[in-house]
C-alpha cells in the first residue's frame, strides 16, 4: 500500500509518496512523470516519514542545507539506480553536467563512453525530486534543461542553494 501527502512549497504544491516508513516519491503536482511510481491503491495519510520529509523541505526552502536525509526507497533499473546514486553525491549548491555523469557511469562499467542522453532519461525519471537533486544537473553548454518540474523551478532551486549560476541559462524553447 502506498500513502501520499501534500506539501505546499514556495515553488508549488508537492506530492510525497511513501510505503510506510520510507519515502518513495516526491513530485511537483503536474510535473512530467508525476507520481509514476505509485502503483495500485494509495491513500492520503499522515505518517512520520512525511513529517520528517516536511522538516527536510522546510529547512531546504529556508535556504539552508538540511543536515539529514529522510529514509528513501528508490526503485528503477540498475542504470537508473547508478545515475540516481551519483545525483545524491552532487553537493548542495553545486552542479554537474549530464556528460560528467555519463563519464562516471562509463568508468564504473569499464567502457569508453556512455550516452549523456541516456543519463538525461534516467535523471528525468528520478522519483524523488529535490531530495535526490536532479535539478543540479545541467547541459554541457550551461543550459538548464531536462528538469521534469520545469526549467523555471530548476533555476529557482539553484538560486535558493546560492549555486554559481554564471554561464547557466534557460534555453529559448524552455526545454
**Spatial distance between the Cα atoms of 58 and 70, rounded to a whole number of angstroms:** 13
C-alpha cell at 70: 529522510
**Catalytically annotated residue among 90, 134, 148, 158:** 134
SS3 sequence, 122-164? HHHCCCECCCCCHHHEECCCCECCCCCCCHHHHHHHHHHCCCC
134 is catalytic: yes
C-alpha cell at 134: 536532479
Q: Quick one: CA torsion of 76, 28, 23, 1, rounded to 10 degrees?
A: -80
**Spatial distance between the Cα atoms of 71 and 22, rounded to a whole number of angstroms:** 5
Which positions are annotated as active-site residues? 134
Amino acid at each position: 500500500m502506498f500513502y501520499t501527502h501534500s506539501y505546499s512549497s514556495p515553488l508549488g504544491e508537492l506530492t510525497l509518496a511513501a510505503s510506510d516508513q520510507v519515502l518513495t516519491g516526491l513530485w511537483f503536482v503536474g510535473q512530467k512523470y508525476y507520481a509514476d511510481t505509485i502503483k495500485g491503491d494509495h491513500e492520503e495519510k499522515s505518517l512520520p516519514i512525511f513529517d520528517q520529509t516536511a522538516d527536510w523541505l522546510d529547512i531546504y526552502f529556508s535556504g539552508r542545507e538540511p543536515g539529514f536525509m529522510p529514509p528513501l526507497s528508490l526503485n528503477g533499473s540498475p542504470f537508473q539506480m547508478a545515475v540516481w546514486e551519483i545525483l545524491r553525491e552532487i553537493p548542495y549548491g553545486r552542479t554537474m553536467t549530464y556528460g560528467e555523469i555519463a563519464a562516471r557511469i562509463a568508468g564504473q562499467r569499464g567502457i569508453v563512453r556512455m550516452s549523456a542522453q541516456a543519463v538525461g532519461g534516467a535523471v528525468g525519471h528520478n522519483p524523488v525530486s529535490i531530495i535526490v537533486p536532479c535539478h543540479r544537473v545541467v547541459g554541457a553548454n550551461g543550459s538548464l534543461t531536462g528538469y521534469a518540474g520545469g526549467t523555471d523551478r530548476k533555476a529557482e532551486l539553484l538560486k535558493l542553494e546560492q549555486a554559481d549560476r554564471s554561464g547557466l541559462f534557460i534555453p529559448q524553447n524552455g526545454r
